[in-house]
Amino acid sequence: MFWIGFFIGIFWFYWIGFSFRYYELSYLIPLVILGVGLIYAVVFLFFALLTPTLFLRSLGIIFFSYVAPFGFNWFKFELTLINSYFSTHIYIFATFILLIYLFHKFKGDYKLISLLGIFSLAFVPLHVKPNLAPIDVKIPQTFLEQNKKWEKTYKEEIINTNLSLIKEAISERKELIILPESAFPTYLNLEKTLLLDLEYLSNYITIYTGALSIEDRKVLNSAYVFENGKTQIAHKVILVPFGEQIPLPKFARDFINDLFFNGAEDYESAKEPHNFIIKGLEFRNAICFEATKDALFEGNPRYMVAISNNAWFTPSIEPTLQNLLLRYYARKYKTTIYHSANGGISEVIF
């Protein structure tokens, strides 16, 4: 179990350290990969010690998805069923695992009974009925490389590209355009001229975009909505562990930030999820990682806009893994997710 956890950790999450390339810390990538492998090795070993029998281990698999080292919950056994005929709902998944256990334990004709039970689960209806908002939405697919995003020499070009996408959507008579996380590489709340331009364009189309904000010298990862000449802002609630915050005691957090990130402080976060009202409809705001957390689906929102920047980790399986997770949560909470991802998979998920 130790080695199973080790290699699952590596092959499932080898991409986590890729973002270090953009901090001139590429030499740490092998150490990060090894560290993630060891974390899951220990988790699986602990899991094995707690579940010495096959029955207990089967129960453990059912609840393993609730294990989240450092708050990172992207390892879920249910994801292996997303592209199958089997539902990932907790009750169906639990029945699926227990029937496999019974198939192993039963002998003779009783094996056939458990096997028929497994096949019968394939006929449980999946949540695949589209529940689309009555708005004509454009979600551009963008592929801006991360090493260019924050280079000052590319700033004007990136802004003009975004404005061109907005004007193109206007010419197509779209009602809403959704741009990805940090689409504008700047503290947008300080860009007075750009804000005026976006507010003017919002008289013709609602604009939903990601960008940074700065308030009281605190940096926030934000979503901006421009509609009818007005601006609304919501901030990220759940920060990425070891990306936007160091989930360790203050002395360790300060040491890591000083050693590797030139003393930069963690991002600030909002206290609770925010709903934007767009064309009279409520859309739950989610920025990248937090769109894969149960807390963001509190109240079972009918619609969600999720914006991401997968360029930190490409090329890798990370965009595909995120897409599988979004599909998992969309089905779990019956929420339609409008996902705009730079370097990832942009689509409507239900």
The domains of the chain, with CATH numbers, are 2-121 (no CATH), 137-349 (3.60.110.10)
pLDDT at residue 343, rounded to an integer:
95
Average pLDDT of the segment spanning 157-174: 98
Of 47-51, 190-194, 204-208, which range is least confident?
47-51
Read off the DSSP letter of residue 245.
Answer: B
Is 162's pLDDT higher than 60? yes
Confidence of residue 120 (pLDDT cuts 50, 70, 90): very high
Q: Which of 227, 236, 268, 318 is catalytic?
A: 236
Element (H, E) at 325: helix 318-333
CA neighbours closer than 13 Å in the CB half-sphere of residue 118: 17
pLDDT at residue 335, rounded to an integer:
96
pLDDT at residue 125, rounded to an integer:
81
Is 178's pLDDT higher than 90? yes
pLDDT at residue 265, rounded to an integer:
67
288 is catalytic: yes
pLDDT at residue 267, rounded to an integer:
85
Confidence of residue 128 (pLDDT cuts 50, 70, 90): low
- As a whole number of angstroms, the distance between CA 15 and CA 178 comes to 26
Is 6's pLDDT higher than 80? yes
236 is catalytic: yes
Per the prediction, the chain carries an average pLDDT of 92
pLDDT at residue 13, rounded to an integer:
96
Share of the chain above pLDDT 70, in %: 96
Q: Which of 78, 138, 181, 227 is catalytic?
A: 181
Q: Which of 76, 149, 227, 288 is catalytic?
A: 288
Is 259's pLDDT higher than 70? no
Alpha-carbon distance values, 258 to 59, 174, 213, 214, 263 (Å): 43, 46, 23, 21, 4
pTM of the prediction?
0.92
181 is catalytic: yes
Greatest mean pLDDT among 53-67, 130-144, 243-257: 130-144
Alpha-carbon distance values, 174 to 93, 211, 279 (Å): 40, 22, 12
